[in-house]
Structure formats: C-alpha cells, structure tokens
Amino acid sequence: MADPQSALTVGDVGEHAVIQAIIEAAPSVLNGDDAAVLTHASPNSRSVVATDMLVSNRHFSFDYSTPFEVGYKAITVNFADIEAMGARPVGAVLALALPPDTPLDTVRELAQGVDKRCREYTTELLGGDVTASDQLVVSITAVGSLGGNRDALRLDRARVGQRVVAHGAIGYSAAGFALLEKFGRKRVPQELDELVRAHCQPALTPGRGVVARATGATAATDNSDGLVPDLDLLARRSHVGINLDADALQPDDLLQRAGELCGVDPWEWVLTGGEDHTLIATTASEAPSKFRTIGEVIRGEGVTVDGQAPEYQKGWVSF
C-alpha cells in the first residue's frame, strides 16, 4: 500500500473515473455510446440473451475470492447460459452497484477479470452502468449468436434413447466452497487447489455448446443449481426421465479427499452442489469432443441414479 493511488475509493474519485477505469481494464471500440451496436455474423443468425447477477456475500466473498476472480466468474456463469443454447457468446454488458468505500483497485481488478474471460471467448465488454449502493452487486447480461437454421438447445428437447453428456467437472465448485468455508483460502491443502479454483474461477472450455449443437445435441443446460435439480427441470420440460450412471459420476480422489476433510459425503456435492456451470447436453450421437457420457434419457419422469432415486436432491435456491 505504498502507492497512495491504491487507497482511493470509488467515492473519492466519482462515477466518471470509475467508468474510465473499467473501460481501460476492459477496452472495446463498441463501448462508450448510449448503447452498443452489434453487427450480426451472418444473415440468418439469431441473437441469444441471458442475465445473471452475483451479490457480494451471497454468491462470492472477497474473504476468499479476488476481485479478478469475481469478474472472471461473472462472465463464465453468463456465457454458460449462452453455451447451453448451443450459441456462441459475442459480448457482455456489466452493471455494477458499488458501496462508495469500495477501493477503485477492486473495480479495476474485477474489470480485468471480466476482460480476461471475455477475451478467452474472443468477445468484449460492450457497455455498462455504475451506481452507488449499500452492497456490491455484479449484474451481467451476455449476448450470443446462434448461427444457421438448426434449433437452439432447449430444455424441452430431450428425447428418449439419447445419451446425456457433460463437459466440465461436477461437484468441484461445491467442494471448493466447503473447503474455503472450513479452512479459509490460505489454509486449504495445496493438492486440493483445483477444487477451490473451480469455485472461484471456473474455467470451462469455450465453444462446447456450439460443438454439441453442431454434432446433433437437441437439449442442454448448465449445472448451476445442482446436477439433480437442473436435470430434473430439463426432464420435466421434455416429458422424459433421466437415468444417471453412478460409475460415470463417482467422486474422484480430489472430491473423496475433500469429503474426508470436511466430513461431507462427496456424492452430495456431485448431485446437488451446482455452480460448476458444467455444460450438460442430450444427443443421439456419440459424446462430442471434450464431453463424456453420464447417463441416458429414458421413458418416465424425474432423475434417477442407476435406476434409484438420488441420495441427494435439493440444490441451491435463493431466499
């Protein structure tokens, strides 16, 4: 803290300087007017829009996440919804509600995380809004592009006989959160850092939704509220059942170790943890590149694991 600049708060510098800091950290030629104008990739593309809000001390805490990680994650969770339609993210807008005593550096680092994750998807921060509040709120809306005439990947399009495929870890984010709650960021055993990172800065491979749609998937969602509740919604909307394969979901060594340390059955994290933003699709084809098969779409209703009711069912809900 030798640099006196770093002690400045957003209340000290005011709205315009805060906006300037965000634009410098996440530059885009599309930003800076009343609204951003996006040219469509192709004449028959469609636009896809999703919004997801992160509230301080509900969805994240600076006790264990850096501002960079919060910005990065805020983009990831929004782009996961775009990917879950089989679309390609093309940009995001960021509305920030900030307590006046928020350090300007916090905003700058958060915007750097936004920018980093946007660029990993070859997208940019298109615009935003900054306002004062009592609690820090990060509200992002993601815009995507759905090319070609093929349908989007919809919750109501799972069909009996399809396989259920997943890209990304399942249960890691909840395990990481449990470790953070128990040990604090600095004391989580080094070998479990991958779980912590899955919670603080989930890094799914961009483009998997487009690949799933291109290879014949018809339905998809992302694992945000928990594997069982998210798939239960998909199954209900599609009027089908989903039977998961226990072997394919078996908690790995990392989850087992974390479970022992936290005194939690790691199956609870796998089945109901959520927040992994793992992309889950149903397809009649083979599992697409970087996906693995975790179950099948069957006649019936609800979600089963090896034909039985899941041991854990209730996921994340607000309030």
Q: Which residues are annotated as a binding site for substrate?
A: 59, 275, 316
Question: Is residue 211 within 8 Å of 153, Cβ to Cβ?
Answer: no
Binding segment for a copy of itself among 7-15, 175-183, 263-271, 294-302 (CB under 8 A)?
7-15
Query: Using CB under 8 A, which residues numbered 135 to 154 contact a copy of itself?
Result: 135, 137, 139, 141-144, 146, 152, 154
Question: Rounded to the nearest whole angstrom, what is the least distance from the CB of residue 264 to a copy of itself in the complex?
Answer: 23
Residue 271's identity, in one-letter code, is L
Binding segment for a copy of itself among 44-52, 68-76, 171-179, 296-304 (CB under 8 A)?
44-52
| Closer residue to a copy of itself, CB minimum distance, 234 or 244 | 234
Give CA–CA dist 237/284, Å, rounded. 18
Residue of 184, 211, 1 lying closest to 105 (CA atoms): 1
- H or E stretch at 47: strand 46-55
Question: Is residue 295 within 8 Å of 244, Cβ to Cβ?
Answer: yes
| Cα dihedral value 301, 307, 311, 315, nearest 10 | -30
Binding residues: 34, 51-52, 59, 81, 128-129, 154, 222, 224-225, 275, 316
Give CA–CA dist 90/79, Å, rounded. 9
Among 24, 40, 205, 289, binds a copy of itself (CB under 8 A): 40
Residue 167's identity, in one-letter code, is H
| Closer residue to a copy of itself, CB minimum distance, 143 or 195 | 143
- H or E stretch at 220: strand 217-222
Among 1, 5, 134, 187, binds a copy of itself (CB under 8 A): 134
Query: Using CB under 8 A, which residues numbered 45 to 74 contact a copy of itself?
Result: 45-53, 55, 58-59
The token pair that represents 206 in the structure block:
């961009």
Question: Rounded to the nearest whole angstrom, what is the least distance from the CB of residue 80 to a copy of itself in the complex?
Answer: 8
Give CA–CA dist 263/316, Å, rounded. 20
| Closer residue to a copy of itself, CB minimum distance, 96 or 178 | 96
82 binds a copy of itself (CB under 8 A): yes
Sequence-distant (6+) residues with CB within 8 A of 58 are 318
Give CA–CA dist 229/238, Å, rounded. 14
| Closer residue to a copy of itself, CB minimum distance, 133 or 205 | 133
202 binds a copy of itself (CB under 8 A): no
Binding residues for Mg(2+): 34, 51-52, 81, 129, 222, 225
Sequence-distant (6+) residues with CB within 8 A of 167 are 204, 205, 208, 212, 278, 279, 290, 291, 292
Question: Rounded to the nearest whole angstrom, what is the least distance from the CB of residue 256 to a copy of itself in the complex?
Answer: 31
| Closer residue to a copy of itself, CB minimum distance, 8 or 246 | 8
Count of CA atoms in the C-beta half-sphere (13 A) of 184: 3
Q: In the complex, which residues of this chain contact a copy of itself (CB under 8 A)?
A: 10-11, 13-16, 18, 32-40, 43-53, 55, 58-59, 81-82, 84-85, 87, 91, 93-98, 100, 126-135, 137, 139, 141-144, 146, 152, 154-155, 220-222, 317-319
